Amino acid sequence: MYKRKIEILDSTLRDGAQGEGISFSVSDKLNIVKALDSFGIDYIEAGNPGSNPKDMEFFQKAAQLELKNSKLCAFGSTCRNGVHPKNDKNIQALIDAGIDTLVIFGKTWDLHVKKVLNISLNDNLTIVEETVSYLKSLKKYVIFDAEHFFDGYKSDNEYAMKVLEHAIKGGADVLTLCDTNGGTLPNEVETLTKKVVSAFPNAKVSIHCHNDSGCAVANSMISVDAGASQVQGTFIGIGERCGNADLSVILPNLKLKMGYDCNGDISQLYSVTRRIADISNTQIDNNKPYVGKSAFAHKGGMHIDGVLKVHASFEHVDPESVGNKRKFLMSEVAGRSTLLAKASSIVPNLTKDSKEVVMILEKLKEMEHYGYHFEAADASFELLVKRTMGLYKPHFNLVLYKTMGEFPVPVGGMPASATIKVEVDGKEEITAVMGNGPVNALDLALRKSLTVFYPAIKDIRLTDYKVRVLEENSTTAAKVRVLIETADEKRSWSTIGVSNDIIEASLIALVDSIEYKLAMNE
């Protein structure tokens, strides 16, 4: 039985767009709306139509969307001092957007009123009430964002509460307590949320936190326990400076840990988070709670043994409840239980004491001693298991390769070339390609030559390439480890290569990535 219903307002398209390195096109914004609506978010704060033509264009196109779960919100400020809302161009832009739910922010910190707006405290109260009242007269649902509420309360508690009072007088449907600077701590958020809930018992109270002190998630959750019934944030925590409260962490915490009822299918959490990150052109940290690739990754032998016996022994929730999956990492510290758990999904019917497990474990330790690191290269590990057990036949044979560099680089030209000869079922193909460096040239030549035999290779692309020097004291003669990530339209996989020659290490990883793709197609 849930405690009570908590609404979620996602501000990825407005506050999230203010994060460094984030830039959404209109198409990006529409696709994120579709993803959030499919997930089941209550409100989507989609932009400020009065601030730029792109947001106005978005709202015009968004009107054609048939949303099933979410309500779009337009965001804007209170009217200018001395200008009635009906004559304020930004307020009119909000109305022209054709959105029924509006988020209006107003100043609650006396510092901002006096030093930023340069108006009197009473004038600020007037524009808050007049703006909300005018929008309510037009039958709008108004969420009032009390900007800098916590800092304002600490500066002048009576005035901060007066601003909320005037928003309520104007008819505001929701009062949002904003930790705009992100410096408030959980104990303060809890105390002040309780005071606001007590002072305005008939109002719906919302919480909006920034993460400048690392407390945005904790502040949001403790505010809910203190009486807030709506949480604002961004789905992957992006936002100005240090970001906003991360809804991908808050939602499962509220639902799975705290017993609150929230809309949103958290079994989609992993996939929706990645969809939004892809559109935002940003990365999800591997160690991100719930949705990171390492969130349910186990490496220590004792941990893996415990999870295999009782999942809850080292997992706080079921990975599948948030759409993630359990992962066992292979390394030199892994025992037979770890290897068996990992290898059984590749080759069924293995037992802990079978000679095959011993063979694989010995091969694993031998290769890790040389410099391989399979915990981050699942595809190469799978190929290692099958090769060791004699269950894998290569799809092609790399007969030879040659690379050449050129200096100085011709204007507008490529600085390197690669020649590849491959053999498939007795037939040979030789390809020479120019590239932006020898590894790029090899990559292009290898795929071009093999596409003659395997057209499916056209679907793959490299998404990441990492090099690590393993012997620091060996300088330019050092052994290197190359890790690459490859993807097609449906999945991604990682492979690894190690050599004293960075080009050979890269080629080993490239060959494995293509072999794995061809094996998956079978």
Average pLDDT (115-129) is 96
The Cβ-side half-sphere exposure at 51, using a 13 Å CA radius, reads 12
Where b means 16+ CB within 10 Å and e means fewer, 111-128 reads: ebbeeebebeeeebbbbb
Which one, of 272, 326, 264, lies nearest residue 297 by Cα? 326
CB 458 within 8 A of CB 349: no
Write down the pLDDT at residue 345.
72
Mean pLDDT of 122-148: 98
If pLDDT is split at 50, 70 and 90, which confidence band does 337 have?
low
Every domain of the chain and the residues it spans: 5-264, 297-388, 397-521
pLDDT at 351: 72
- CA dist 167 and 133 (Å) reads 8
Checking if the pLDDT of 338 tops 70, the result is: no
Task: Report CA-CA distances (Å) from 238 to 143, 287, 464.
Answer: 22, 16, 22
Q: Identify the CATH homologous superfamily for domain 5-264.
A: Aldolase class I (3.20.20.70)
pLDDT digit string (tens) for 202-238? 999 999 999 999 999 999 999 999 999 999 999 999 9
Q: Is the model's pLDDT at 2 over the cut of 90?
A: no
The residue type found at 360 is I
Confidence of residue 56 (pLDDT cuts 50, 70, 90): confident
Average pLDDT score over residue span 329-351? 67
Q: Categorize the per-residue pLDDT at 334 as very low, low, confident or very high, splitting at 50, 70 and 90.
A: low
**β partners of residue 71:** 43
Q: Answer whether 41's CB lies under 8 Å from 263's CB.
A: yes
List, in sequence order, every residue forming a beta bridge with 9; answer none if it has no partner.
43, 232
Band the pLDDT of 119: cuts 50, 70, 90: very high
- Say yes or no: do domains 5-264 and 397-521 share a fold: no
* CATH number corresponding to 397-521: 3.30.160.270
First and final C-alpha spacing in the chain: 47
d(CA 108, CA 121): 9
Question: Sorting pLDDT into bands at 50, 70 and 90, what band is 512?
Answer: very high
User: Contact 146/192 with Cβ under 8 angstroms?
Assistant: no
- Quote the pLDDT of residue 336: 62
* Predicted model pTM: 0.75
pLDDT in tens, 449-492: 999 999 999 989 888 899 988 876 677 778 899 999 999 888 88
